[in-house]
Chain A
Amino acid sequence: MMGLRLFTILGVSLGMTIVLELLFAFVAGKHDRKDLLLVCLVNVLTNPIIVLAYYMAVSYWPWNPALIKVPLEIMAVIVEAYYYKSYGRGFRQPLLFSTFANLFSFGIGEIYNVIGG
C-alpha cells in the first residue's frame, strides 16, 4: 500500500537523519544535552515535511528528482539554522553547522540509497 510505504519511508528517513545529525553534532563538539535534543527536535520539524513534499513532487512531476531535492534541502538548512541560532546554547555558527550537518546526513542517505537500501 502506497500510504503504508510512504509512512515507513517518513519514519526511516527521520530516524536515520536524527541519528546521523546527532553523530555529526557530537563529533562537532556539541556535547550539551539540551543542544543535542534540539538537534533531534529541529529535524522532527523539517525532515518529515521535506520528505513528504519530495515524494509528492516526484510522484506528480516528471522532473529530475535532484531539481526537487536541492531547494527542499536548502530550505531545511535555513530553518534549522534559524532554530539553532534562536534556541541553541553552543551554536556559534548555526548556518555553517546546519549546512554541514545536512550535507552529512544527505550524503550518507544518498549512499544508502545507491547501495540498495
Chain B
Amino acid sequence: MKLNHFSVLLLFILAMLMVCTVANSDVIWEPNDEFYKNKYEDCEYIGRSYTAKSADGSVTVWKEPGSRKEVDTIKNGSALYVSFKYTDKSGATWGVVQFEYDDAGNVKAAYTNNAHTGWIMMAELALVYDYRSFNEEHESEYQPYSGDYKAFMNGDEIVFWSYPRSGVITRTESNIDENFSISYTYTDSERRQWGFISYYYGIRNSWVCISDPISKTIPAIAIKNSPAASPSQTIPYPNSNVMPENSKFPVTILLAVLVFVLIITTVVIIHLFWKK
C-alpha cells in the first residue's frame, strides 16, 4: 500500500492524539454500586471526605436512597469518602460510600470491587476540612509563584501536605523533576510560603511548604469558623482515576490546538514549496 504524505501525517497526528486522549481519560473514580450504576446520570460528583455525625450516635448505610434495606450502621466519628450524591424526589440528598473494616473493626474507605457500598443521608455527615475547604477560605490570598524549582530538585525528600498547616502529610517524594509545578502560593501568618501542586505523578491537590520543603514537623493549627470536621480525619482519596481538581486539561488543549495549527501550516508550506 502506497501512502501519500497526508496519510502519513494523519496517522502521525492520530497516534499523538491517542497519547493525549488516553492520558486525559483519567476519569472520575466510580463506586461499584448497583443504584449508582442505574442512576449515574442523576448523580453528582463530590469526591470528598466526611465523618459520620448523627444525632443518634451512628449513621445507617442503606442499600439505596429511600430503601428500607440496611447495609450497616456506622458509629459517629468514622471517616467516609463520598464519591457521588443523589437527590431524591423529596429533596433529600444522599451520598454513596464504599467501605470495609480494618482489623480493629473500624470503618475505612475502600476502593475495591468487593467492598461494601451503600447510601447515607448527607445530613448525617460532616465535611472533613480539606484542600477545597482551604481554597474556599483563602483563595483571595493566593499569589502566583515566581521562584525557580531548584530547591525541590536537589534530591531531598519533599513533604506534601493536605493543605497549609494541616498537620497531615499526604506523601513524601525525593525524585522531583521538571514536571513539578506550583500553581499558586499562599503565605501563612508565620510568613511561611506554601505552594499548591495540582498533580505530580499521582500526587493530587497537595501543598508543599516552599519555605521549608523537607520539614515534617510544621505544626497544625485549629480550623476556626468552619463547619467542617477535624482535618486529622482526612482519609485518602482513591489512588487512581480521580480527575485532579485543577486539571491541566484546558491548558494542554490550547497548546494542542496551537501545535495542530503549526503542523497543518508546515505541511501546507512543504507541499507548496517542496513539490518534486
Residues of B contacting A: mostly: helix
Q: Which of B5, B26, B254 is in CB contact (< 8 Å) with A60? A: B26
Alpha-carbon distance A77/B262, docked complex (angstroms): 19
Complex contact A49–B13 (CB within 8 A): yes
Alpha-carbon distance A17/B8, docked complex (angstroms): 22
- Measured as residues with beta carbon below 8 angstroms from the partner, the interface class of chain B is 35 or more
Q: Quick check: is B54 within 8 A (CB to CB) of the other chain?
A: no
Complex contact A57–B19 (CB within 8 A): yes
Which A residues are in CB contact (< 8 Å) with B20?
52-53, 56
Complex contact A82–B5 (CB within 8 A): yes
Complex contact A59–B259 (CB within 8 A): no
CB distance from B206 to the nearest CB of A (A): 15
Q: Quick check: is B112 within 8 A (CB to CB) of the other chain?
A: no
Q: Which of B26, B198, B270 is in CB contact (< 8 Å) with A38? A: B270
Q: Which of A34, A48, A57, A82 is in CB contact (< 8 Å) with B274? A: A34
What are 29 A-B pairs with beta-carbon distances under 8 A?
A1-B144, A2-B181, A3-B248, A3-B254, A6-B255, A38-B274, A42-B270, A45-B9, A45-B270, A49-B263, A52-B255, A52-B259, A53-B16, A56-B19, A56-B20, A56-B23, A56-B24, A57-B19, A57-B23, A58-B179, A59-B248, A60-B23, A60-B24, A60-B199, A62-B202, A79-B9, A82-B3, A83-B5, A87-B276
Using CB atoms and an 8 Å cutoff, list the residues of chain B in contact with chain A: 3, 5, 8-9, 12-13, 15-16, 19-20, 23-24, 26, 144-145, 178-179, 181, 183, 198-199, 201-202, 248, 251-252, 254-256, 259-260, 262-263, 266-267, 269-270, 274-276
